[in-house]
Amino acid sequence: MSTSQFKVLIAGGSIVGLTLALALEKAGIDWELFEKGDIAPQLGASFSLHPPSVRILDQLGVWGDIEKIVIPLEHRQHIDGEGRCFEDSYVLRDIYSIHGRPIVFAERCKVLQIIYNHIQNKDRIHSRTAVSDYEETEDDITITTEDGKSYQGSILVGADGIHSHIRKVMAEKLCSTNPAVAQDLLEGFTSEYNAIFAISRNGMTKPFMPDGTVHNVYYDYYSAVATTGEPGSIFWFLFVKAAKTRYPNCPRFTEADAQNMIDQYGDSTIGPSYTVKDLWETRVKANLVPMEEGVLKQCRNGRVLLMGDSIHKSTINIGLGGNLAYEGIARFTNLLVPLLQTTNSPSISDITELFISFENLHRQRADWVVRLSGQVTRYEAQDTWLLKFASRYIIPWVSDRKKANLYAAFAQGAPWLEYLPLHSKDTSLAGE
C-alpha cells in the first residue's frame, strides 16, 4: 500500500494512542504521536483485557509478551457484607474454554511498555510534547505543540483520555457554529461513584488469595473487587457511591482523601480472610478517582476524530472500557485501510464520510457497554432493593455455562483487524 501522502497525527501516548500507532504501522500507514508526559509512566493501576482485545493484540504481535506476565482468571467468589460466599463461580474458566482466550488483568504501565517495545518507528513518538492547538485547511491539518513547533498531517486523532485537551479545543472551535455539540463535548460525562484503584502485594507472610481468583464483595452503596492478575500482586478496587456531578466539575482527590475513605471503609471484608485495610497496608500504588460515565453525541469535526476515553467512559467493575477502546481502534483502521487502497490522498469529504461511518458503527456498542457497566456498578453496590434481591436470589441460579454463552454472544459482536491474519483459535470468537 502506498500511503506516502496520508499521515495520521495522534495526540496521546495512552493505551489507545500507542496501540493505534502500532496498528497503523502494521498497515503501512504513516503516523506521528505526541504525548505530554513520559511513555509508559508508573501511573495508574491495572488494565483489564477481554478475549476480543486479546485477539487484536495477538494480531499485532503483542499478546505473547503480555501473556508471560499475567495469570488467566478462572475462579470468582461473590461475598456478602457478612463475609459469606453466596455464589461460587467458574464462569471465567468457561469463557476461557469457549474462546481459547482468557480474561486477564495486567499492570497498565507494563502493557504500555510492551506495546511501545513492538513499535518499529520509535522516532515518530514525541514524549513530553503536548499538543496545544490545531488548524485545518481543505488539504491538511497542522498541530502546534507547547514548545512552539508545528507538525502537518492529514487527520488528527485525539487519544488523550477523559481530560482530553483535543476535545476541549474542538469544543472551542465549535462553540459559535454548533453550541449544543460544543457543550456536550465539554459536559457530556457524569460521575456518581468514586473508586480507589490499587495494586498491593499478595500478603506479607501468606497470600490473601490464590492465583487466578476474583473476589467480589457486596455492601449497601459500596462494593469492592480484588483479583490476582499477576504473580505476587493483587489488583483491587473500592467503589463508593457519592453525590452525582457533571464533568468538568467531577471531583479531584488527594492522598488525604483516599486515606479518609480507607478510614471509613477499611474494616470491610473483601475475601474470606482479609479486609480493605489489609490490602491498603500492603499497597504498591493507589489512586482515588471519580468514575465518569457517558458517551458523547459527536466524536468528530473536520479532520479531527476523538477515540477511547475522550469520547466514551464507563465504570470499571466489569473491565469493558479498555475492550471498547480496542474495538474503536479496529473499527477505525478497518475503514481507513480500504479507503487508502483507493486513494492515498482522500478529500475532506472522504474523511468526513470515514468519520461518520466510524461513529455510526461504534456508537451503538459504546452506548451498550457504558450502560451495562453502570448497571453492574449499581448492582454490586446494592443501589436498590431490587438489585440486592437479584444478586442474592436470581443471578446465582443462572448456570456458569449460560453466563459464558451470554458473554460469547457479546464477544462475537466485537471487530478485529480485518487487514491482518486472524489466529485459527479466534475463528469462533469472530463468528466464522
Judge residue 67's burial from the number of C-beta atoms within 10 Å of its C-beta, 0-12 exposed, 13-18 middle, 19 or more buried: middle
For residue 56 the three cell numbers come to: 487484536
**CB atoms closer than 10 angstroms to residue 228:** 24
List, in sequence order, every beta strand (DSSP E) within 109-189: 125-126, 131-136, 141-145, 150-153, 155-158
List, in sequence order, every beta strand (DSSP E) within 35-110: 46-49, 75-80, 85-89, 104-107
155-158/125-126 β-pairing: unpaired
* DSSP calls for 317-374: TT--HHHHHHHHHHHHHHHHHHHHHH-SS--HHHHHHHHHHHHHHHHHHHHHHHHHHH
List, by residue number, the catalytic residues.
218
Consecutive H or E run containing 222:
strand 222-230
Q: What is the spatial distance between Cα 312 and Cα 112, in angstroms, rounded to a whole number?
A: 20
To 5 degrees, how large is the angle CA 238–CA 243–CA 249? Answer: 100
3-class SS shares of the chain: helix, strand, coil, % to 5: 40, 25, 35
Burial 245-254 (b: 16+ CB within 10 A, else e): bebeebeeee
User: Could you give the angle at which helices 15-27 and 108-118 cross, rounded to 10 degrees?
Assistant: 20
Strand partners, 201: 233
**CB atoms closer than 10 angstroms to residue 191:** 23
